[in-house]
Amino acid sequence: VQTELGNRSFVILPDSTKIWLNSRSKIHYQTDFGKDDRQVFLTGEAYFDVAHHQKPFIVKVDALEVIVHGTRFNISAYPDDNQIYTCLEEGKISLKKDSQEYLSAEPGQLVVYHKQTSKFDITQVNAPEYSSWRQNEMYLHAESLQYLAKKLERIEIVFTPEELGNKIHYSGIFTDESIEEILDAIAIASDLTYIKKGNRYEIKIK
């Protein structure tokens, strides 16, 4: 099951587990899912509402395995991101790297795996904010414009000069705004401007 750029999907697995897929994301699983195990492979971002079962539910993403025992959580693991974000909303999960168990997470915790260093960080957060994309909401807490660019439905955004994307940070909540409305708000707040060329946006200093 996969989504294209700017689209989202909802799927119910044979065990009644519900999965919401964000833009440009994909899951795949075996045709005999649930017979011997419950295992799915994820690329991109998804929210899981896992059905209770004797067999553990496993999400494989990159070098990580997330082992689940009936729970709700969000995973963001796009190939072009340097981190994998796993935010637990309810229940219990444990994470393995290269088949070795590293840590477990409690509700309200965000686990960040840094691909380049193979290190984990855990912080306490408001978990529903990390799956708010399902309701067309986006929460930003002093995030860089580069981070925001990746969250805007994965559209193409470039910065002039290039380092601008990591220099300016923004906090706010967006609900159902279009991409242009979000960029307008940021441009006003940060004294920037942007130019649209097809599906490509260039953000620069006025």
Q: Are 39 and 58 in contact (CB under 8 A)?
A: yes
Residue 193: the pLDDT is 93
Residue 154: the pLDDT is 59
Give this prediction's pTM.
Answer: 0.82
Residue 85: the pLDDT is 94
For residue 153, name the pLDDT band (cuts at 50, 70, 90).
Answer: low
Burial class of 183 by CB neighbour count within 10 A (0 to 12, 13 to 18, 19+): buried
Residue 91: the pLDDT is 94
CA proximity to 85, closest of 47, 50, 49: 47
